[in-house]
Amino acid sequence: GALHGQTLCRRLTTQPITQYPDTLKQQLRYQSPQQHDSLAYKGQSYEEVVELRKQYLTPNVTSYYKKPLLIHRGSGSQLFDQEKSYLDMFGGIVTVSVGHCHPKVNAALEEQLRTLWHTTNIYMHPKLHQYAERLMAKMPGDLKNVYFVNSGSEANDLAMLIARLYTGNNDIISFRNAYHGASPYTMGLTAHSTWRYPLPGINSGVLHTMNPDPYTGIWGGKHCRDSPVQTSRNCNCQEGQCKATDMYYEQLEQIFKYSLPRGKVAAMFAESIQGVGGTVQYTKGYIKRAAELVRANGGLFISDEVQSGFGRTGEHYWGFEGHDIVPDIVTMAKGMGNGFPMGAVITSRKVAEVLSQALHFNTFGGNPLACAVGIAVLDVIDEEELQKNSLEVGTYMLKGLERLRDKHDVIGDVRGKGLMIGVELVADKETRQHLSAPHFVDIWEMCKDMGVLFGRGGLNANVLRIKPPMCINRTDADYALAVIDYCCDQYMKKQKRGSRR
């Protein structure tokens, strides 16, 4: 099985739940929590919180799971509700990079909040400049100027503005299946119908090109992806030459031929690996060729590193490095603050100068608290070798998931790099028909009941998104693999029982 006979240790705050088969229970060793009373939950009851949520929060604020979790504490790779602990394999939507409540990050924040919370940029404060220097040391080429904001949507919003100002062009290209934010400006970049409101002007100046997806796209297969695990789909590509990339690139050229003013584009946006879209990777070499085409037509190439940055992909610190490019603009957020609201736009001095044409101001961007946290996060990633850990544990997990894909008919594809992993669940492996929502939820809820939290993504919401804190170890990976193995097995048995009836 996925555990390879190892004994795992999971800490729960109550007795273990009993849905597991005896064989799995025997492979798991539970321990009573050794926590201080001060860490136990003492807040409002679950029922009171549910009522307050219904009464005061806007109804679009929805939660995961049929019975949402009430999380009150986190530590490392663990989250705690009132009853037990969970292995967090989603990191607060790819945001908790170095671990929940990391002691060094906590200490940096506590030290800063005792001296200075806020001044905004009308004055100088040392942490802003210290952090800028540290962050720019991680950037290649001319990417040496930064503007701090508070979220990924804000960062992409500003990157759109900069690109249009700098080039004097208006049109921007992004991929179908991309997610770049939900602000009115970035909603046009985002190409998921589920994230778009029926408002005029949302798509103004934004065009979506075909997504070069080697699993569900028109072209691609088992030689086309930069991942330790290739899709099982057949293709005619040879080693070192991806024919699928040639055909997807032709589709991009069609945008330039038919939908843009000749030789005039402002920018192209691309996530290094699509996040919300279901950890989708592109065909080999596509991004590099796309960047060259965009620049040849007067535009800038913008890499969205909101989810793939800060060492998560393992082989590189930034996801764009895996595509062998240096972008003109890089946007980032999420993992840079380990949960503290932070974002940034990084570009060259030459491009950044266009913002001097008028006043542009962000009250909270680069405030002392955020910068203290940001510095500590950079320190921890380096000191604890979390990029290396992402590569080693991530590849180990990908290979384990590959075995599960070959074992279970419901797992259609496994993909990703480092600790940015997607597992696509299907109703039919041959046709790649997605698993419908009720069936996906059966498996997903089972995983939660067994103490493992996964994200959910893809246009059809049929992809397990595995993007945990980068501090997880092989024991955590083994536990997650065992749970996926068991839940998929239970699902398939249930389906067979249903078909016999």
Q: What are phi and psi of 78, to 5 degrees?
A: -110, 145
Record: fold of 103-384: Aspartate Aminotransferase; domain 2 (3.40.640)
Measured CA to CA, the distance from residue 88 to residue 71 in angstroms comes to: 11
Stated pTM of the model? 0.92
| Domain extent listing, the chain | 18-92+386-499, 103-384
Give the gyration radius of the chain's Cα atoms.
23
Q: Which tokens in the block code for residue 82? A: 């009132």
In tens digits, what is the pLDDT along the chain, a chain of 501 residues?
444 433 334 443 333 343 455 545 545 543 333 344 557 888 999 999 999 999 999 999 889 999 999 999 999 999 999 889 999 999 999 999 999 999 999 999 999 999 999 998 889 999 999 999 999 999 999 999 999 999 999 999 999 999 999 999 999 999 999 999 999 999 999 999 999 999 998 889 999 999 999 999 999 999 899 999 999 998 888 777 889 999 999 999 999 999 999 999 999 999 999 999 999 999 999 999 999 999 999 999 999 999 999 999 999 999 999 999 999 999 999 999 999 999 999 999 999 999 999 999 999 999 999 999 999 999 999 999 999 999 999 999 999 999 999 999 999 999 999 999 999 999 999 999 999 999 999 999 999 999 999 999 999 999 999 999 999 999 999 999 999 999 999 999 998 887 665
The total number of residues written for the chain in this structure: 501
Distance between start and end Cα atoms, the chain: 29
Bridge partner list, 426: 434
In contact, 471 and 77? CB cutoff 8 Å: yes
**CATH number assigned to the domain with residue range 18-92+386-499, chosen from the 4 options 2.60.40.2140, 3.90.1150.10, 3.75.10.10, 2.60.40.10:** 3.90.1150.10
In contact, 272 and 323? CB cutoff 8 Å: yes
**Same-fold call for 18-92+386-499 versus 103-384:** no
Neighbours of 44 (CB within 10 A): 12
Measured CA to CA, the distance from residue 83 to residue 70 in angstroms comes to: 10
Bridge partner list, 30: 10
With tokens 């067979």, the residue in question is: 496
DSSP 8-state class, residue 17: P
Closest by Cα among 456, 464, 454 to 425: 464
In contact, 172 and 203? CB cutoff 8 Å: no
| Element (DSSP H or E) covering residue 72 | none
